[in-house]
Chain A
């Protein structure tokens, strides 16, 4: 019998022949792969903001108030980043989704009612997405009764039959199309310096003599407050927090890789605001300047750009809107189904077969069918109401969810030392309070508008 030690000794001679270069490249390649494995959720979540409801609000704000709404962008980016970062921190340090944590710490009943509200609010959002689909295809000349069902089928099939990795990759590539808004802004030829100037609060810059002639100070009336509230409500939606935390947990991000996620969230928030900046500047320079102060719908915004900035601008605008709407229509129902099922204890996950996770697939399908169906059979006037109400509901739910998050993220027994610093807490609580006030404003004025 041969001695194993003999073999081992001869075998050691191999070491000299091993390719040392591989040893160097190997770990580097792995680090890049790891980075791409983690990055994504923050980008996706922030960029889905630019959906139909979002575009409508941004375009309307630009048309109605010109550059004077731009000062809200910097505070909004801050609040968006702060709230999303808290969620991703919770996900990375506890390893549990937001709805799981709420169930474990606040009990079944609270979770149940929260999930019921989330379902209704997200249904409203899904309807808004399909509204966006048909406005965009109207601009591009396709019949809405063809486009909406087609979009619904595409969205359902993409997620059920695609693999999670591929679905995310497609989404991220589609994010690149948002540059169409940037291009249409350039085609509209706005006054860039003046626009950039308006990023600072006009109430302050008006006191600087050299700048004063260029600054337009807004009137703080009811209409202005509503638009601000709408801007916030549409940018920072509750479902984003659930989705982000769930994605962080699913990617198995731990405390060590958390830095990547935080950067992902930061880049996502900033890129979202950059796109919003270009949209507002675009409509401010074309519609507002020419006296068009009201947009009936996002499609009208694209159409209105035609005579002013050429057909190219409006087509690009429509394409961007269509992509955003389909993109959001795929994420929202899926994320909602996950969140509800996990919290209430039903089987969930696209990797499960249809028969194993009936409630999960059922919820997901129902959200898409109801969302698309209700939109098709509602008239044009109702479509606007839907867009409006979906933002209002977002605004109602948001402070509630934020309060839950703030309570959880300050618990040492959950996140260890990574509880909020004093400064962070101040920023977060003040933003929550500000949003509650804004919510009340929006609710009041929307109801006023509806029943008038």
Chain B
């Protein structure tokens, strides 16, 4: 039968001889030893220093009452320990990330389950309660008898998250290590979901999460996050880590991010980045964000118009290409000028011997880099485009604008 944290708090504790020892004021989990086992109980005794009972010293636990399997003298005095997760202080009423529901919730109560081992009883954390029934239990805790509370809350809607889907949020990096808090589960979430989760957290917590994600995921998340938050996060990061993350981003996303930072910080980060990437980003920063040049991505796929489908596929397989870049392939003529764009759907259905120039879309569409962003939006709308090529004044392609950039700009 399950036990709630609200029923365990304040429980009167007796030792093996039946002497009253104290009341349970707090209980701890030691993630380094076992991820969900209650490892220590803090027993307060009025004016005396509080004692600690270990998980292997408990004979039985019930609502409001705990019996130990050892005598009071076997218990140690309480000393604070940073590697212990205190349920009352660090978990109840705090925000946690629900990795299955992909949102941030506040903990109302915790569900525990007793397990018999070697004649002792161990409590394990099963679920975290975030709904109305947990709220009611907290409200009536200590005031109304346990049996009545149980009956009341059984009629209320239950809303709980299993412990394995709970991701704790802890801004202090040292404590994170001690509590073995990793964010591997977060890396499986879609960056947009993770960005939304992070918007609900405080600044320090956001910083902590970004610092512990791998660079690729961090880059994807920062690209989706509100720009004000992104600026705050990047400013507080180590320049090296920030530069690593920037490298993982597409050049136009990196340029957008750097444009929002102060001059000194953005220069510092550009210096940390490898030469070619930094140069690309610097070029992009020269463009006004409200023009085609400010929205384009200079990393695009281009091939000669005379090549065949077979040759192009062979070549593409040998490259490390981003899926986003593959939507449209830009064609160049003999003078390295823009001669057309081939959507990848046409490439898919074509025969191996067909030349790229036969597959290109009509009419030939492109915009100069200084074109107004409204002009770009209208073109996308009129021709139902997914990608649009940007050219310089010698008709050479310098970048492509994709429809997701357009949507983001339009929503702002």
Contacts and interface: CB of A to CB of B under 8 A. Distances in A.
Contacts of A345: 105-106, 108, 130, 135
A112 B140 CA distance: 11
A14 B398 contact: yes
Nearest to A15: B286
Contact of B228 (A103, A108, A252): A252
Nearest to A92: B203
A11 B396 contact: yes
A256 B307 CA distance: 54
Given A7-B398, A19-B288, A94 B202 contact: yes
Interface string A3-40: 00011101111110111001100100000000000000
B405 interface: no
A399 interface: no
Given A14-B369, A22-B288, A252-B228, A103 B304 contact: no
Given A1-B315, A10-B394, A18 B106 contact: no
Contact of B135 (A22, A26, A344): A344
Contact of A1 (B108, B201, B235, B303): B303
Interface in B98-121: 105-106, 108
A219 interface: no
A109 interface: yes
B202 A2 contact: no
B301 to A, nearest CB: 10
B19 to A, nearest CB: 30
Contacts of B298: 11
A276 to B, nearest CB: 34
B202 A11 contact: no
A22 B370 CA distance: 12
B302 interface: yes
Interface string A270-310: 00000000000000000000000000000000000000000
Interface in B387-403: 392-394, 396-398
A256 B233 CA distance: 12
Contacts of B332: 2
Nearest to B88: A107
Interface string B193-229: 0000000011110100000000000000000001011
A254 interface: yes
Contacts of A103: 93, 106
A109 B228 CA distance: 35
Nearest to B299: A4
A104 interface: yes
A258 B175 CA distance: 28
The 9 closest A-B pairs by CB, nearest first: A95-B202, A95-B203, A108-B138, A252-B228, A345-B106, A254-B232, A22-B288, A11-B398, A18-B286
12 contacts: A1-B303, A8-B280, A10-B392, A11-B298, A14-B393, A19-B370, A109-B141, A112-B139, A252-B228, A254-B228, A344-B135, A345-B105
Given A11-B398, A103-B106, 10 more contacts: A7-B397, A12-B283, A14-B398, A19-B370, A23-B286, A104-B95, A108-B138, A112-B139, A254-B203, A345-B105
Interface of A: 1-2, 6-8, 10-15, 17-19, 22-23, 26, 94-96, 103-104, 107-109, 112, 252, 254, 256, 344-345
